[in-house]
């Protein structure tokens, strides 16, 4: 496998030379504005991942460089997608160790609000944790479960709840402190502060409870689930399959 294999997966590639000075400025502003919130809030694995993957405010990440680093560390790569993709494409990519990422960046006028995730969310928030082997093993295994049930909307909804409350909005306990690993929080200054406050409910990681819990797409979550380690996350895969089968059987 080489760093161009992601092009084979989707037919798209990052056109780095097309980024404008304003794009680079937007990246710098977003990066500098959010990174200052994270040293005491984000999981240490994310902060170390930022260094491993060589992200900085100085330049938009170049996917060729990022892919070479990821491939060497965990066997993963980025696959360029135009935006939100269908469930089958999304899980197929990740089941094959390719994380879907957009290459377009919001404008200066969209700094504070954006309906659809851009590359700042996809790349700044998600990619550093792709350097953690247990984390990506969980992603791969969860995606393979999803593909087995891809024609069943109810099953995909249940799996999406697991993804949402872990990969996007998950918290982790490290050295007695609750920290953030979910990308949906890591790319949001407001939710970074909110999720660690006493206002929302906090629960220990519980597969069955998560699968019975709906989530919000248009506002901060009102509940968050806390894992003890990325190993715990990966080792919960068997339980996810078991609970999923039980809930599907009840629905029938």
> Which helix (H) or strand (E) is 220 found in, with range?
none
Instruction: Give how far the C-alpha of residue 104 lies from the chain's centroid of Cα atoms, to the nearest Å.
Output: 17
Q: How confident is the model at residue 10 (pLDDT cuts 50, 70, 90)?
A: low
Domain range annotation of the chain: 5-251
What average pLDDT does the segment 121-131 reach? Answer: 96
Using CA atoms, how far apart are residues 25 and 18, in angstroms rounded to an integer?
14
Q: Which pLDDT belongs to residue 112?
A: 78
111: CB partners within 8 A, 6+ apart:
26, 29, 30
**Quick check: 206 pLDDT over 50?**
yes
Using CA atoms, how far apart are residues 175 and 181, in angstroms rounded to an integer?
15
Beta-sheet pairing, 77-80 with 177-180: unpaired
What average pLDDT does the segment 59-79 reach? Answer: 97
Would you say 102 and 118 are in contact if contact means Cβ atoms under 8 Å apart?
A: yes
Would you say 63 and 80 are in contact if contact means Cβ atoms under 8 Å apart?
A: yes
**Quick check: 216 pLDDT over 90?**
no
What 3-state DSSP class applies to 59? strand
Using CA atoms, how far apart are residues 52 and 113, in angstroms rounded to an integer?
29
How confident is the prediction for the chain on average, in pLDDT?
92
What average pLDDT does the segment 75-81 reach? Answer: 95
Strand partners, 99: 78
Instruction: Give how far the C-alpha of residue 245 lies from the chain's centroid of Cα atoms, to the nearest Å.
Output: 25
Which of 45-54, 103-112, 151-160, 198-207 has the lowest average pLDDT? 103-112
pLDDT in tens, 19-40: 999 999 999 999 999 999 999 9
Among 170, 169, 161, 180, residue whose Cα is nearest residue 49: 180
Would you say 99 and 126 are in contact if contact means Cβ atoms under 8 Å apart?
A: yes
Q: Which pLDDT belongs to residue 1?
A: 33
Q: Which pLDDT belongs to residue 199?
A: 96
pLDDT in tens, 134-185: 999 999 999 999 999 999 999 999 999 999 999 999 999 999 999 999 999 9
What average pLDDT does the segment 223-241 reach? Answer: 98
Using CA atoms, how far apart are residues 184 and 207, in angstroms rounded to an integer?
19
Q: State the architecture of 5-251 in CATH terms.
A: Orthogonal Bundle (1.10)
What average pLDDT does the segment 81-96 reach? Answer: 92
The model's pTM: 0.92
The CA–CA distances, whole Å, from 221 to 102, 168, 191 equal 24, 11, 8
């Amino acid at each position: 496998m080489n760093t161009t294999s992601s092009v084979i997966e989707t037919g798209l590639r990052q056109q780095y030379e097309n980024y404008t000075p304003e794009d680079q400025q937007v990246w710098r502003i977003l990066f500098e504005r959010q990174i200052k919130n994270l040293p005491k809030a984000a999981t240490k694995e994310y902060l170390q991942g930022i260094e491993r993957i060589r992200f900085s405010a100085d330049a938009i990440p170049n996917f060729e460089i990022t892919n070479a680093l990821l491939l060497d560390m965990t066997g993963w790569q980025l696959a360029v997608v135009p935006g939100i993709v269908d469930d089958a494409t999304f899980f197929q990519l990740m089941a094959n160790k390719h994380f879907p990422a957009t290459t377009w960046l919001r404008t200066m006028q969209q700094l504070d609000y954006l309906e659809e995730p851009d590359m700042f969310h996809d790349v700044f928030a998600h990619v550093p944790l792709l350097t953690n082997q247990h984390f990506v093993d969980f992603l791969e295994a969860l995606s393979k479960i999803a593909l087995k049930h891809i024609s069943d909307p109810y099953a995909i909804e249940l799996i999406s709840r697991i993804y949402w409350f872990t990969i996007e909005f998950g918290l982790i306990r490290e050295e007695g402190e609750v920290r953030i690993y979910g990308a949906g929080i890591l790319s949001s200054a407001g939710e970074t502060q909110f999720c660690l406050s006493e206002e929302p409910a906090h629960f220990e990681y519980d597969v069955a409870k998560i699968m019975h819990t709906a989530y919000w797409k248009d506002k901060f979550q009102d509940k968050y689930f806390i894992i003890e380690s990325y190993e715990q996350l990966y080792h919960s895969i068997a339980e996810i399959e078991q609970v999923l089968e039980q809930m599907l059987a009840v629905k029938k």
